[in-house]
Chains A and B, each alone.
Chain A
Amino acid sequence: MSVKTPTLVKNELKMLYNQFVRTITTPSMLGFYIITISGALFVSSIASTLFSLAPLFMPMAGLLESTIDQAAIFTAIGLLTLGSVGSGYFGVGPAEVLESPDEYIMMVSPVQPHQLFLGRYIRRIIRKFYYIFLGFIVVLPIIVQSGLVASGIMLAILAIIVFLEVNYFLGGICSIMKNKIDKRFKTRFRFLAFPIIIAAAYLPSLPVTTWHPIFQLGIPANQVSVILMQLTGIHSPGIDPITVFVFLLVSYFIGLLVLTNISDSDYYELFSTKMSKEEAEGSFSRRVRGQVDFSESRFTDPMIWIMLKDFWSKMRTPLQFWKYLYVIVGIALGIYLNLFQPLWLSPLPIPPQYTHSIIPAFMLIVILLTQMSSLTSLLAFVEEKDNIYLLRASPFRSKDIVLAKYLLSILEIGATSVPLYLFLLYFFRVPGSIYLLTLAAPMILVFAATGIMAGAYVPVFTNTPKNPPVPLAFSFPAINLVLGGIILWIASEFANSTMLVAVLPAFTLFTVLLFLSLSVRALKSYK
């Protein structure tokens, strides 16, 4: 009568395998993969040359050891657990691993809720390891060049991943607890559960407990702290990191088993509510779309209108609010730091003999920060989900759609990266950094365009525009890193000639136009 869990797991593996086969048999997808891997390899081999600067970082370890004490490290890493317990309490817990077809197929079928969770979770963890493996290959040149011990880095990465998974379990357990408490008790006292859980999650990371070896080895957050301290040599407690990793694995399996065992059909309901909320939002924005009258001034308005629509529909998501808050506070703080140079927060000390060779490192950081903020442009089309077809069918020219998305992305990227640049300027005192930083402007322009292009191609590859195919998402940073490198190269090559004012803008304009016209082509080729 009962369904066996291996059947479900086998099906998950089948799906993974099919996805893989589909990827490597679709030439365009394969193309994106190859771009990703070769681009990333190229960049990481450039980056690896920076490790001739390694001596620079050596004193830093000593510096860290003298400024931070061991207890502070435990307390800081404990914050991660605290965060995931806190957000998990209000989150959907085990429902996070479900997909929309599950609602209609698996929830209706005679499968136990915990079996469904386990099957889905196993797929998720396999996928994760697959990506980590790809990532590891990509950073291999850096590891080899820097003479770091590959096994040590592997262990550190594994420990962090396992730790994050343990945190996910803890958050899921809290979410289930919240549901049970809400069902059982109707009094206001039930809100007390939240502070109690939070306190219980953080107490083992506070100095009152972390001095004791039992807490160091028994609590996941502390286990990771010990492993990292041991591997970096900062306050190394002198315990074999492998042993601690085994302890961490034990925590992982305890977490997995507990969460699996307490998953019951309540989480179906959570998932289904989450899905219908998503749908409700979609239908709302459709209504907004229906009410706007395009009959007048059709040629100038649509672009601004799409931008306004995007801006407001983004504002509706809670994350966006925090983002803008971060921009405002970040800029204020950045200006304050740069103007007043407070004593309590001093910049990184850079020994004089390195001041010049540090410039490439500085620029690499600029590229990475810009790349990080420009993720929004990749999402510009993805966030439309299925509405993208509606937008495509509405009386807009593809050109206007692309341009509107592009302009809004530039604004967003600019806003989110300014605080980062300000911090960088303050902490990383490099001669001429202000002038170097002007190169961020062409980078933003170019990165936004590649993001838009990658996003626009999503519906060409898949008919579920909600989930961008992985190679696309990965090729985006790879392309950007290469383009960023080219911009740097142009800047350094023409540094002493007035040609720079012609060549750099020309290159920027050319790449931007190229990618935007590719986006328009992508948009036109939707079925």
Chain B
Amino acid sequence: MKSQITNRMATVLISVCAGLMALIMIALVGYIFYQGLGHVTWHFLTTVASTFQVGGGIKDQLWNSFYLLIVTMIFTTPLGIAGGIYLSEYAKPNRVTGFIRSCVEVLASLPSIVVGLFGMLVFVNTFHWGYSILSGAVALTIFNLPVIVRVTEDALRSVPVALKEASFGLGVGQWYTIKNVLLPAAFPGILTGIILSAGRVFGESAALLFTAGLTSPDLDFKNWSPFAFDSPLNPLRSAETLSVHIYSVNTVAIVKDAPQVAAASAAVLALFVLIFNLSARGLGAWIQKRMSGKS
């Protein structure tokens, strides 16, 4: 009897917590959308920001956010997956491996402002990369790499040992087994992790304040040479991203419509992060279904 009551109480408590979480999230996102979406127009998305006139948009910031995200993912995905494969399949369970794993964990939990300041000292000043996409992307890499390593390692470890045995039992070598059995089986998990981390990178601001910078040149979307100073592709130009823009509009902007610009930018940012999260779930499930059918 007693255990039944405890059981019921625990269930109620857990449901309340879960409900509360959902409520907070819905309230938060709802509020952001309510405040901001009204100002999000095509004009807003396709006009450059303005520091002294009403009616500025977020065209360059939006581009910068995506460009930085892509460059960061190009750096982190291969490295992170390779690291995860190493830790789960090759590393011997000894002190060195334990140490590497602790490093990854510490790196993953570093406050992003610390990463940002480190980036400023090393990449911006010492390497003379200045406030740039490159500095920003490398700082974000420091901050994102451990996440992908962890995600990959966990996904590989959760592949049933029986599959590995089946493959080795056929005389299949380790690399071929990883490539053809383990990675495909772990792929949905890895992909979900990567997309979720992309959402985090997309919304990151503290690590970028002092690395990618608070300004960007007026981008010339007709000049795609990566060497031109105002080219969208130039990796050595400064690049204010959407979330940094929200920060700077809220703190230093003097335009009259600053609150609206900030609210609308926040809504756009939240929208994209939400899309990343939802697509991560959907895509993971879809691929799992597809892969078990074919391949």
Do A and B make up one complex? no
